Structure 1
């Protein structure tokens, strides 16, 4: 049946071909994302009000020059923070998009809280504003990059631009609604410090909850280290492969949580091997396109990839690292014999594991295992 109003709203705010043109988790994610954007818009108005008051708006003794200098310092420190954060964490944002998305929203709330507190400490106003500016610029990098990663996941018909554009339309509408509500609420609490803080806490609680639900609703079919560790653990215990929805539901969303092994994938051969004899030990029993060993500098597990290694080889190397980590440590004198033993174990179980991944809906022709670009060349058959 033709519904002109519904069809008009759908064409304005949802991607063409919805729901078939997007992932199954699209609608639930967007609903929670809309709620968090609305609460963030209102708290942003509170923060802006506090910054303007702290800058001297309404104060006859304040000068335009002082306010301009404060804003310049705020923008400048934020730009430096943006560059440094992108340099330090840029390659990790794709691998843990959901975790960094939630991190960005928590940091954004912290930045607005700092801005609201800024007028309370006028002697430290510039320092406080600059700190908040750095936080917000980091939010811009982390939030924007992870939003792009989630858009790639949601777009199922090579329609990433359309999904991104409609997301922008939704956000614009929500921000407009937030501005209208702010026009009503901000004058009511503008003269009350406690009222401002109470409203901020209520909206921040709503914002964080909506963000958590939004991120938790995302079901990604590509494997990162957290999801691979969860799937592998269940396979070793139960002999079954978890489906993407089951593993994503168990994926930790906060830093420091999760039991995945720390392994550097795609390091240079020199980072692991110092002699020909050591190379022979790593190749013993090894018939695959990677060398698993221990870094010479830190002692942590690391993987050297063969120049012919594909996505399945990368997944296998991390699976091997997870299994090896359960059986040995970097100081174990028998670690090389245990390494050869685990090579045989992985050779037996990985074909069934990889087939189960594909049958359960996981994508194996690409991954999010944070592999570096180093590649080496050696005789694969030497370990046979």
Structure 2
């Protein structure tokens, strides 16, 4: 006798993974009283979410490999630019101990292939340079050479970290690619070392290679940390790095196997250099593509220039009661909609290597870039006061600090611009003092204000003076404050994916003042 089970007697449990992908469905039917035992019982039916019933289906295998090498919850657990970066990217840290230890690499993708083989070629050259295979070579001299390389690398690490430590996170894309450039130049020097006469010259070449690897370690390791934090969306930074290590291990093993075959067949000088240069060219090109694919959501100096200038250019109300902004032919002056660029759109215009502290204006319609000058944010008071000594200034009198303090009494920064001439063109240098208690929002406002003021000042062809500069600074500040315009700018930017709470404008240790 079959008991009838209604829908009210069923419980359905749908199971998903961390990303929300269905894995299985469990249907509980009951509770049903048995006519034989007079006991209540039920049953659970399992419905698999796999579309294939074949035991040899490739889908479970692919899924299992994904679980091993990709973060849990992929792709929802990482940012959209994670996979393009991993496909191209390669990060390598080489120790300075090639003479006594195996090369230590950390690699991130398929193009580790190129660098693995190139690294083997350079390592072979170093071993030849220190006398491996030469009966007259002294182990003591090789050890001393290793010690000199190690010392120079450690000193370079300390100096480089001190000099650019603050800039590593805001400019992580720049230093990520710079790390690979340092490393590839070091490999070229390694391959040159056997042809350099033994003595101080060879020591200098190998020590320089050690210094470059040290710079690679600082720049690559620090920028890698920033990029990993950018990719991790679920607070899964530790797991993401662990899965990266798994990817690196597989790729490096494969690269080593192929590299072992390659170096055993490449012995001539010309062939070695040809293969090396081809591999390094492929290595750098793929790293460039990887860094270009990253879409950072923090507003550093370059990204702030692109985002704010495009926004200003589209906001025609800024031209009211102000020196008219540069109008673009064919663009209506009655346009009311703002152009808010997303991180992906800004990444398309972003340069990997760019001028530090440049003020550049990106036009809304043509997407051409105009260089307006430069800016320093978070400067010391002495730097701010000495800003009038900029070459080419035509200001006849000292900076009116009392009026500046009054203009910026309600702001958390003080801004002033001075002109300077380069190649016959007048540009402007902006100095920004930050007050104690300033937040990221205030820093972004200060930079946007400097950009807008410089854009207006370059339109003025005659009559530069302190009063003209102060007037422009005051009027542009009034426009940013009118109807909480700048606050609305930040709200719109945040709405398209920008993280306006990350401080990424200061690339040097900053100063704060208190009035």
For normalisation by structure 2, the TM-score amounts to: 0.68
**Structure 1 residue 373, shift from structure 2 partner:** 4.7
Aligned to 2:474: 340
May I ask how many residue pairs the two structures share in their alignment?
373
| Structure 1 residues 172-191: aligned runs within 5 Å | 172-189=249-266, 191=267
1:266 aligns with 2:378: yes
| Structure 1 residues 158-173: aligned runs within 5 Å | 158-173=235-250
Aligned to 1:192: 268
Say which structure is richer in strand.
2
The CA distance in 2 between the partners of 1:251 and 1:240, in whole Å, is 17
3-state SS of 2:502 partner: strand
1:295-339 CA distance string (max 9 Å, x none): 9xxx9422222333221111111001111222348x743322222
Of 464, 478, 488, which aligns to 1:352?
488
The CA distance in 2 between the partners of 1:277 and 1:302, in whole Å, is 14
Q: Answer whether contact 2:417 2:469 (CA < 8 A) is retained.
A: no
Flag the structure with larger Rg.
2
1:317 aligns with 2:446: yes
Moved more, 179-188 or 164-173: 164-173
| Structure 1 residues 193-272: aligned runs within 5 Å | 193-238=269-314, 239-256=338-355, 259-260=359-360, 262-269=374-381, 271-272=383-384
1:87-108 CA distance string (max 9 Å, x none): 1111111111111111111121
1:266-320 CA distance string (max 9 Å, x none): 234454359995143343265322111369xxx9422222333221111111001
1:178-222 CA distance string (max 9 Å, x none): 110111000111x20111111111111110111011001111111
1:89 aligns with 2:225: no
Q: Answer whether contact 2:407 2:474 (CA < 8 A) is retained.
A: yes
**Structure 1 residue 367, shift from structure 2 partner:** 3.0
| Structure 1 residues 1-384: aligned runs within 5 Å | 1=50, 3-33=59-89, 34-123=109-198, 124-189=201-266, 191-238=267-314, 239-256=338-355, 259-260=359-360, 262-269=374-381, 271-272=383-384, 278-284=401-407, 287-293=410-416, 300-328=429-457, 332-333=465-466, 334-348=468-482, 349-370=485-506, 372-378=509-515
| Distance of aligned partners of 1:117 and 1:270 in 2 relative to their CA distance in 1, 3 Å threshold | closer
**Structure 1 residue 68, shift from structure 2 partner:** 0.8
Q: Answer whether contact 1:282 1:293 (CA < 8 A) is retained.
A: no
3-state SS of 1:304 partner: strand
Q: Answer whether contact 1:286 1:343 (CA < 8 A) is retained.
A: no
1:36-68 CA distance string (max 9 Å, x none): 322111111110000001110001111101111
Q: Answer whether contact 2:416 2:432 (CA < 8 A) is retained.
A: yes
Q: Answer whether contact 2:122 2:190 (CA < 8 A) is retained.
A: yes
Q: Answer whether contact 2:308 2:448 (CA < 8 A) is retained.
A: yes
Structure 2: runs of 5+ lacking an equivalent: 1-49, 53-58, 90-108, 315-337, 361-372, 387-397, 419-427, 459-463
The CA distance in 2 between the partners of 1:163 and 1:283, in whole Å, is 50
The CA distance in 1 between the partners of 2:409 and 2:452, in whole Å, is 15
| Distance of aligned partners of 1:254 and 1:271 in 2 relative to their CA distance in 1, 3 Å threshold | closer
Moved more, 343-352 or 267-276: 267-276
Q: Answer whether contact 1:118 1:129 (CA < 8 A) is retained.
A: yes
Structure 1: runs of 5+ lacking an equivalent: 379-384
Q: Answer whether contact 1:273 1:279 (CA < 8 A) is retained.
A: no
